Amino acid sequence: MVLVSPFLLTLCILLSFSLPSDTQNFRAFKRNHIVGRNEKIKCNNIVKTRHIMVKNACKPHNTFIHASATEVQNLCSRFIQRRDVISIRRLHLTDCVLIKDPRARPPNCLYHQTETSGRIMITCLNGNPVHFIGYRRLPIRHVP
């Protein structure tokens, strides 16, 4: 029988509650960035209903990816270690930029909304997307 000090046992229990799991990070990523492929969204509404904010303040910028969670997750499927990846194909995106109003506080955040598309850049960990880095719009190629 192995004896474990009460201090060490307590420390392990506390750490297990304080460290977010990869599943929680993926869940947060989905909540903050993924909407249905053909879903029509309004930044003001979705940011409010999903409670997207930073330290109880309006989030200055947020991008929503119009794709299934599985499609985005597949970008990370080969990576166990933390790794930044860029999608090969362009995805439909909704970009939400906070309209500067010093009095605005959640849930009364107002956003300027832009529909766009681009290759997304995300951070993967243990096969899951955990952070949205940004996106890259591809230049339009003119064919002579």
pTM of this structure: 0.79
Give the pLDDT score at 99.
95
CATH level 3 topology of 20-136 = P-30 Protein (3.10.130)
For residue 6, whether the previous peptide bond is cis, meaning omega lies within 30 degrees of 0, is no
Give the pLDDT score at 144.
55
All structural domains of the chain with their residue ranges: 20-136
pLDDT digits (tens, 9 = 90+) for 15-44: 344 344 556 799 999 999 999 999 999 999
Angle (CA) 78 83 84, round 5°: 110
Lowest mean pLDDT among 76-80, 88-92, 123-127, 138-142: 138-142
Residue 55 has phi, psi (to 5 degrees) of 50, 50
Half-sphere exposure of 128 (CA within 13 A, CB side): 12
pLDDT at 143 over 60: no
pLDDT digits (tens, 9 = 90+) for 68-105: 999 999 999 998 899 999 999 999 999 999 998 877 89
SS (H, E, C) 52-88: CEECCEECCEEEEEECCHHHHHHCCCCCCCCEEEECC
Give the pLDDT score at 5.
59
